[in-house]
Structure 1
Amino acid sequence: MAVSLSNNFSLYNPPKTLLHKKPTPSLDFNPSAISFSISKTPSPFLFLSNTKTPFSFNSSFSVKASNFSSQINDQDDVHLDDVKNMVNDEEERSPTLKSLLKIYKEAVLIGDERITSEVESMICKVENEKNELVMKTSTLTAEMNSGKERFIRLQADFDNFRKRSEKEKLTIRSDAEGEVIRSLLPMVDNFERAKQQLKLQTDQEKKIDASYQGIYKQFVEIMRSLRVAVVATVGKPFNPLLHEAIAREPSQEYKEGIIVQEFRRGFLLGDRLLRPATVKVSAGPGTMKQSTVAKEPTEQSAAAAGVDDSR
């Protein structure tokens, strides 16, 4: 039996022993360009029995171009070079679902059940492999998405940890600076008390005061470099977050709630309060009465930003 496809070349080269026999009647289908020559020759799809058969299933139409030269009709328009190129291309490709379907159709047409069953098994195998690949792809996609989500969460956690660490570092540094500066504040008060007790009457006392002022000025510069500032008091509204009121009295000069006197300086380290200022607050205009706190000389202790330029 010989099969001629629409591409005008035969898939089978009949054995030489049968070429001299009288050909049997043939059925020609011109519209489809497919002709079937009915004979008792072996099936063209016995590709598994012999490696030298004209058709190999594993190579998907692995027919050598040289076998076609004796079967091409002189009236055909097919060129030998085109046939060779087509065969070479088919030999280089492994069986695909498209080629299997093509073989399956041809096997059904000639009624070869063995080829049909083998093609069906191969098609099922291809479908199973496809399903396995789809499942693997879905699994890998899910794992990739899960890994991406974990990476985003870890990155967010790391950013939060870094910000928290930086904040804690600044807090620890500020606490350490605050403790050191807070321990030096009594020294500021002592410097101011000493100045108030000095009475500059002789040249020797003036020299001592000049030396004292030089040391005090240097100390103030160091406090300024550490961002230490003085809490504003006299003439400012009372703020319980910055001031500590120890007395309250009527005042003709200041309105109610305004600080009229400072007893002890308060200090800030940046925006952080180191020590509140001790003050007296005005009760507004009224009968002048003696304050509940005895008047004391106002402490004019200086800090980083509160030292007079005259000193």
Structure 2
Amino acid sequence: MSKKIRIRDDNTRAQEPEMAEEADLNTEDWPEEASPKAETDTGPDQEVQEEDPIEVLDQQLEAALEEKKKVEDKLLRAAAEFDNYKKRLEKQWADFKKYAHEAVIRELLSVVDNLERAIVASKDTADQNECLLSGVDMTLTEILKVFEKFGVTRIDALGRSFDPNFHEAVARRETDDTDANIVIEEYQKGYMIHDRLLRPAMVVVSAGRKNGNSAGG
């Protein structure tokens, strides 16, 4: 009985170590099986709490509404401030147009004063010049008409109660028939420009009746 002898050549023996090494390398690339313990490590206390999307939207909406309210408040305040600023400008412009001639008219008051004094002096002179007096009187009348066009009016002080808002007392004097605190003489006329005092009237005020006499006595 004969035995079969298997003869391997040198090439076969040389390839065997390479094949074994390749098999070892392939086994290194195989993924490890997931550990059952790792999957069960997350217990009930470690569950991730997911936020409710409806609640998130509600919070965002609430924040947006609050911001909207703040913006609206700022806009309302800005509008109110602008309205007040506009009103102030309108009033300033109206006052400017109303009182723009105040300085010029104030300077003309001394001219009126001199004309009035000239008229009074002429009337007290025996040899008065009628033509000159008439001319001065006409000039004064024309100036007063110009004053009226610009809202300038005289303050009627004589015989009225003394008012420090419109009168300036230069003297006090007792009288026989006038109660105290009444204007008895007008030294210099006062003027108003619209509702503003241009110049107070310079007046003499009664200090009361002499010896305390009453109106009936």
Instruction: Place the TM-score, normalised by the shorter chain, in its bin.
Output: 0.5 to 0.7
Aligned to 2:79: 155
Q: Distance in 1 between matches of 2:99 and 2:194?
A: 12
Distance 1:261 1:201, change over 3 A: closer
Distance 1:170 1:254, change over 3 A: same
Q: Superposed, which structure 2 residues align to 1:1-311 within 5 Å?
A: 127-128=52-53, 130-173=54-97, 176-198=100-122, 205-286=129-210
Q: Distance in 2 between matches of 1:213 and 1:249?
A: 31
Gaps of 5+ in 1: 1-123, 288-311
Higher relative contact order (CA 8 A, sep 6+): 2
Aligned to 2:22: none
Q: Which amino acid aligns with 1:251?
A: T
Describe the SS at the equivalent of 2:143: helix
Which digits, 9 at most, give the CA deviation of each residue in 1:180-231, with x for residues without a partner?
A: 22111101101112222335989x9444444433332221111012111212
Contact in 2 for aligned 1:230/1:266 (Cα 8 Å)? yes
- CA drift of 1:171 comes to 4.4
Q: Distance in 1 between matches of 2:112 and 2:202?
A: 15
| TM-score normalised by structure 1 residue count | 0.46
Q: Percent identity?
A: 30
Which digits, 9 at most, give the CA deviation of each residue in 1:99-119, with x for residues without a partner?
A: xxxxxxxxxxxxxxxxxxxxx
- CA drift of 1:175 comes to 5.4
- CA drift of 1:242 comes to 1.6
Contact in 1 for aligned 2:99/2:193 (Cα 8 Å)? no
- CA drift of 1:174 comes to 5.2
Q: Distance in 2 between matches of 1:273 and 1:241?
A: 8
- CA drift of 1:172 comes to 4.4
Q: Distance in 2 between matches of 1:212 and 1:185?
A: 15
Q: Which amino acid aligns with 1:280?
A: V
Contact in 2 for aligned 1:235/1:254 (Cα 8 Å)? no
Aligned to 1:55: none
- CA drift of 1:236 comes to 0.8
Describe the SS at the equivalent of 1:250: strand
The count of corresponding residues between Structure 1 and Structure 2 is: 161
Q: Which has the higher helix share?
A: 2
Q: Distance in 2 between matches of 1:141 and 1:257?
A: 68
Describe the SS at the equivalent of 1:233: coil
Gaps of 5+ in 2: 1-49, 212-217
